[in-house]
Amino acid sequence: MNVSVCAGLLSAPSSEDVLRTGYNWQTFLDTPPEEHVYEDSRFVVVPVPYDSTTSFRSGSRYAPAAIIDASRHLEDFDVETGIDASQWGIYTLDEMSPDMSGPKRVVGQVSALIEQVLDDDKMPVLLGGEHTITVGAVLACADHVEDLSVLYLDAHADLRESYMGTRWGHASVAMRVSELCPIVQVGVRSISSGEYDFAVSRKIPIFYWPPGRDSEALNADVCGRLSSNVYISIDLDVADPSIMSAVGTPEPGGMTWWELTSLLREVAARKNVVGFDIVELSPEEGPVACSSTAARLAYKIMGYVAAGWK
Ligand SMILES: [Mn+2]
C-alpha 23 chain-centroid distance: 25
How much distance in Å is there from the Cα of 218 to the middle of ligand 1?
Answer: 21
- Bridge partners (DSSP) listed for residue 153: 186, 234
Asked if residue 236 is part of any domain, the answer here is yes
This prediction has a pTM of 0.93
pLDDT band per the 50, 70, 90 thresholds, residue 163 = confident
How much distance in Å is there from the Cα of 238 to the middle of ligand 1?
Answer: 7
How much distance in Å is there from the Cα of 155 to the middle of ligand 1?
Answer: 5
Asked if residue 21 is part of any domain, the answer here is no
End-to-end CA separation in angstroms for the chain: 22
Contact 167, 199 (CB under 8 A): no
Asked if residue 216 is part of any domain, the answer here is yes
Asked if residue 5 is part of any domain, the answer here is no
How much distance in Å is there from the Cα of 281 to the middle of ligand 1?
Answer: 10
Asked if residue 229 is part of any domain, the answer here is yes
Asked if residue 154 is part of any domain, the answer here is yes
How much distance in Å is there from the Cα of 176 to the middle of ligand 1?
Answer: 15
Q: How far apart are CA 223 and CA 272, in angstroms?
A: 11
- Strands (DSSP E) found in 37-82: 43-48, 77-78
How much distance in Å is there from the Cα of 159 to the middle of ligand 1?
Answer: 11
Q: Is 246 helix (H, G, I), strand (E, B) or coil?
A: coil
How much distance in Å is there from the Cα of 26 to the middle of ligand 1?
Answer: 27
As a whole number, mean pLDDT of residues 59-88 equals 96
Q: What pLDDT is attached to residue 9? A: 53
pLDDT band per the 50, 70, 90 thresholds, residue 17 = confident
* Residue 2 reports pLDDT greater than 60: no
How much distance in Å is there from the Cα of 154 to the middle of ligand 1?
Answer: 5
- Taking CA atoms, 53 is separated from 130, 141, 166, in Å, by 8, 23, 9
As a whole number, mean pLDDT of residues 296-303 equals 98
pLDDT band per the 50, 70, 90 thresholds, residue 228 = very high
CATH code (residue 103):
3.40.800.10
pLDDT band per the 50, 70, 90 thresholds, residue 19 = confident
The letter for the amino acid at 45 is: V
Asked if residue 10 is part of any domain, the answer here is no
Q: Is 255 helix (H, G, I), strand (E, B) or coil?
A: strand
Q: Is 153 helix (H, G, I), strand (E, B) or coil?
A: strand
Q: How far apart are CA 216 and CA 134, in angstroms?
A: 27
Q: Which of 245, 281, 240, 290 is nearest to 59 (CA)?
A: 281
Q: What are the pLDDT digits (tens) for 89-102?
A: 999 999 999 998 88
Arithmetic mean of pLDDT over the chain: 93
Asked if residue 17 is part of any domain, the answer here is no
* Segments forming the whole domain that contains residue 214: 28-307
pLDDT band per the 50, 70, 90 thresholds, residue 224 = very high
The letter for the amino acid at 245 is: S
How much distance in Å is there from the Cα of 157 to the middle of ligand 1?
Answer: 7
Q: What pLDDT is attached to residue 6? A: 52
How much distance in Å is there from the Cα of 235 to the middle of ligand 1?
Answer: 5
Number of domains in the chain: 1
Q: What pLDDT is attached to residue 55? A: 67
Q: What are the pLDDT digits (tens) for 34-46?
A: 999 999 999 999 9
Q: What pLDDT is attached to residue 282? A: 96
How much distance in Å is there from the Cα of 190 to the middle of ligand 1?
Answer: 9
Residue 66: phi and psi, rounded to 5, are -65, -40
Q: What are the pLDDT digits (tens) for 168-221?
A: 888 899 999 999 999 999 999 999 999 999 999 999 999 999 999 999 999 999
As a whole number, mean pLDDT of residues 217-245 equals 98
DSSP letters for 23-39: ---SSGGG--GGG--GG
